[in-house]
Amino acid sequence: MLGSWAGAPRVLANRIGLRRRVLIAAAGVAAVAVVARVMVPRLVGAYYVDSGQASLASGHFTAAIEALSRAERFQPNSAEVQYFLAAAFRRADRPERFALHLERARALGWPESELARQAWLAELQSGKVAGVKDQLQSLVGESVPDDVAEEVYEALAKGYLRSFRWGDAWVCLEAWLQWRPDAPHAHVMRGYLREQAGDTSAAAEDYRAALERLPSLSEARLRLACLLLQQNQVEEAREQYLARLADAPDDGQALAGLAQCEVRRGDAPAARSAIARALASELPAYQRGIVLGELGRLLLAEGKSEEARMVLQQAVALAPGEPQIHVHLATVLARAGQQEQAAYHQQRAQQIRLEYERVTELGRQLVQRPNDAGLRFQTGEILLRQGLRDEALRWLASALACDPHHGPTHALLAQFYAELGDAEQAAYHRLQAAGVSDLPKTRTAQKTPPSAATPPNATTRPAEGTIKGSPRP
């Protein structure tokens, strides 16, 4: 009995020691948890920031946005994250999100000089080159970081393209590619210029070069696929559309292109499946018209003339600038004995082809006469007649930027807005066409599409090798 009492203090001491060790261990675990709670978000956020910056440097803007958005979830109050998100959205041509994140970066204390650079790059990219002439001049002959130089080339080329200044855009892109031959976005933009000039083989080479360097570049893949389809290289075009759909299964443009390929291959089940998928996706009206045109063509081949007629009439209303839809509608109308209407659509198909040739020729003339409002007006007029409304309005806006009092442009816009039911805009342009110039222009400015910015002077262009990084050839 006494022996058991004698060991009691030792047992008690052991228990106290155990509790102390447990408490110390628990405190250590708690401390680690606190540190982890603080450090893990920083470490994970830093990882995604690095990933986003790497994607930006390679030209993969979608991947950059995805990575930086993940970083934002871990570091919502990071000025760095907000700044690079702004840069990524600007370069991805999403101006509203760019402005939002730029203001957040400013509120969080990011250096004002870098914020200012992003702001004038956005203005430059929109086509307002003259408005940032001083900033561009400050870079001429100076050594700037390579990433900044590339951003300037990219924004300047986009700005020239958006204001339809083909010659200036070409000079900028050639200088950019001379410095960085592997720049994928430069190849896409040069390919687009070559396409506008009718040099489709060289355009395809540029698109392929862009895809070699950045296989995920959707614009290059879709433009290449469209060119191949126009050249009746159906199998290769189909491969390009399928490659795009492997990355983005709901891409409406790729689904529409795949539908066209399957119809031309004569695979009716595959064609019906592709058409159904395309029509179930979110397509612009004009593209929906193209897909309906393929459905009408399929029905026509199956001998379902009445169904084909109904579908093709819907298609031609949505995509009036597609000559093949007019040809197929003419065929089905002729079968129904409606010869006069059939003749109209045959003539319209031929007229559209001639108009496309005319637009190409106008583009060549515009290289030599970039400030000619008449050339811009003629292009807009043709595109408006073909149902390409947004692009037509950008061309007409650029005509007025060159000559604010260009009568034919105002007259056409007056007619357009009258048919749209906008009486105020119709009246404004009607008076402008009549020579009345002392009218408020606030509503007109609001109506102008964002990318139809005031074109710069033709002399505001980068001389080759003048925007210097480190090193340059």
End-to-end CA gap in the chain: 97
Cα distance between residue 347 and residue 327, in whole Å: 9
**Region 115-138: what's the mean pLDDT?**
88
Q: What is the pLDDT of residues 6-41, one digit of tens each?
A: 555 565 555 656 666 655 655 555 544 544 455 567
Which has the closest alpha carbon to 376: 361, 357, 391, 362? Answer: 362
Spatial CA neighbour of 236 closest among 249, 251, 221 = 221
- Across the chain, mean pLDDT equals 85
Minimum mean pLDDT range among 24-28, 112-116, 166-170, 231-235: 24-28
Is the distance from CB of 177 to CB of 183 less than 8 angstroms?
Answer: yes
pTM of the complete model: 0.78
Q: Which residues of 321-345 are buried (b: 16+ CB within 10 A; e: fewer)?
A: bbbbbbbbbbbbbeeeeeeeebeeb
Residue 10: what pLDDT?
61
Which residues belong to CATH 1.25.40.10 in the chain?
41-126, 371-435
- pLDDT tens for each residue of 413-465: 999 999 999 999 999 999 999 886 555 554 443 344 333 333 333 323 333 33
Query: What was the pLDDT predicted at 452?
Result: 36
Asked if the model's pLDDT at residue 88 lies above 70, the reply is: yes
Q: What topology is assigned to 371-435 in CATH?
A: 1.25.40
453: helix, strand or coil: coil
Choose which CATH entry (1.25.40.10, 3.40.50.300, 3.30.365.10, 1.20.140.10) describes domain 41-126: 1.25.40.10
Is it the case that residue 106 has pLDDT exceeding 90? yes
Q: What is the mean pLDDT of residues 341-356?
A: 95
Q: Is it the case that residue 470 has pLDDT exceeding 70?
A: no
